[in-house]
Amino acid sequence: MKIGTPKEVLEGEARVAMTPDSALQLQKLGYDCIIESGAGVAAGFADADYEAAGVAVAKTAAALWKDADIIAKVRPPTDTEVKRLNGDKTLISFFYPASNEALMEAASQKGASVIAMDMVPRISRAQKMDALSSMANIAGYRAVIEAGNNFGRFFTGQITAAGKVPPAKVLVVGAGVAGLAAIGTSTSLGAITYAFDVRPEVAEQVESMGAQFVYLDFEEEQADGSSSGGYASVSSPEFREAQLAKFRELAPEVDIVITTALIPNREAPELWTEDMVKAMKPGSVIIDLAAERGGNCKLTVKDEKIVTENGVTIVGYTDFPSRMATQSSTLYATNIRHLMTDLTPEKDGVAVHDMEDDVIRGATIAHKSEITFPPPPPKVQAIAAAPKKEAPKELTPEEKRAAEVAAFKAQTKQQVTLLTVGAVLLLAVGLVAPASFMQHFIVFVLAVFVGFQVIWNVSHSLHTPLMAVTNAISSIIILGALMQIGSGSFLVILLAALSVFMAGINIFGGFLVTRRMLAMFQKS
């Protein structure tokens, strides 16, 4: 079978669904590859690069659509492209079936199999084919770069001979794939980064990347991301009002706002209102990644950059991935290649459309002249549900005192029991062992006990648990050696001194190494 990629016809679209590298991998699966002449030029891939990879170059789109059995492209097909489909062909592209019902119906009537890359289920096995995440990752990164291009200051703070430059304050609304990419880029550039999301389970992810999670003083149980495929769910009106109130509080402080909030198959929720824009400082920037679905900001104009009367720049571009066409094409082509790997179990160049497979069934929106959208829920949950943490019970002062007394009594009982058992065993050994052996044995036992008690109780903030064990052993050696260093034998004195020296190196060296390890996690 032949897999072909036409040139994208949408104006401004620079991505391509097949790269020379992905073509080589597709050929290993047994496919012949075809590319329309000039399809990869905007993404930095010349026709000669494809020919060197063994890809046939079709002169026209009509010729490619006629020869290819499987057509892989980026944007949804146009009406003209749908007319070129038939029952023997498979189309793989972004499709957005909930918004393109007429187009989906037309493709179904042609009898073609249509796989929508935006419908790939978000389960672990399908992560390698998740083109939405691939593109969102690029969009989040590019949003920060675009914000920096329109912002009149450094992201990081500086103290120079010419004066002090404060760090920029960035607020990222929505901590999905695009939001996390924006957070990572913003923090790496040195900005003070805040992030908000309605999903409670992402707070730790945000904080682990160096940003501050914006919490709401609002008591409402939010839906776990596992119930919505990892996406945010619709919030109650009360929660929304509390959310907007928090944003109004932050608006005068932040310099850059990046909004990424979008629920599949819905219009973008309005989160940054006109009064918030008016409250922002002149020179501030808003990057609205939800502009294609109406925008999270009230004033966003799709595919345009505007400047408000109070000097706030609002960017509503919808082609952020296309602005990094080489990287986007490489990732998207890799997603396509992984999908083709699943469609070709025998690696014989024959696609097997297995509708029992969770991933293939979830992404298929038309098959054998039937519309198969929406798909049934996958057998495997998208992400594991976050375990619910029960709030610890607040103890009264009397209960705390009783718990401390009980713990002290238990610890004392355990130590007395161990000392009693040890003393009995020591006496039992003394009944049969000679006096010379008992002298050394008692020294060894005392060294073990004292060394363990001294070192083991050192806080782990000063050394690692593994270092605590090695230091405990070294302290046992040192205590035993110190008690033998006054011996009358020169050989015993020499060995004891060597023991003290080497064990001392181990202990002090261990603390120095641990200090350097801890310093790696401290901000300078």
Catalytic positions, written as ranges: 122, 127, 130, 133, 231
Q: Within 374-434, where are the H helices?
A: 397-432
487 SS3 class: coil
Which residues are within 8 A (CB) of 274 and not within 5 positions of it... i.e. 6 or more apart?
Answer: 298, 299
Q: Cα–chain-centroid distance for residue 304?
A: 30
Contact 298, 326 (CB under 8 A): no
Contact 349, 29 (CB under 8 A): yes
What single-letter DSSP state applies at residue 291?
Answer: G
With b meaning 16 or more CB within 10 Å and e meaning fewer, what string describes 33-59? bbbbbebbebbebebebbeebebeebe
Picking from 73, 69, 110, 118, the residue whose alpha carbon sits closest to that of residue 92 is: 73
| Strands 313-315 vs 285-288: parallel, antiparallel or unpaired | parallel
- Using CA atoms of 239, 244, 246, 250 in order, give the dihedral in degrees to the nearest 10: 160
d(CA 219, CA 214): 15
d(CA 72, CA 129): 13
Contact 507, 495 (CB under 8 A): no
Residue 397 CB coordination number (10 Å): 7
d(CA 313, CA 305): 7
Q: Cα–chain-centroid distance for residue 462?
A: 31
What single-letter DSSP state applies at residue 297?
Answer: B
Which residues are within 8 A (CB) of 79 and not within 5 positions of it... i.e. 6 or more apart?
Answer: 103, 106
Q: Token pair of 439, please?
A: 């002298």
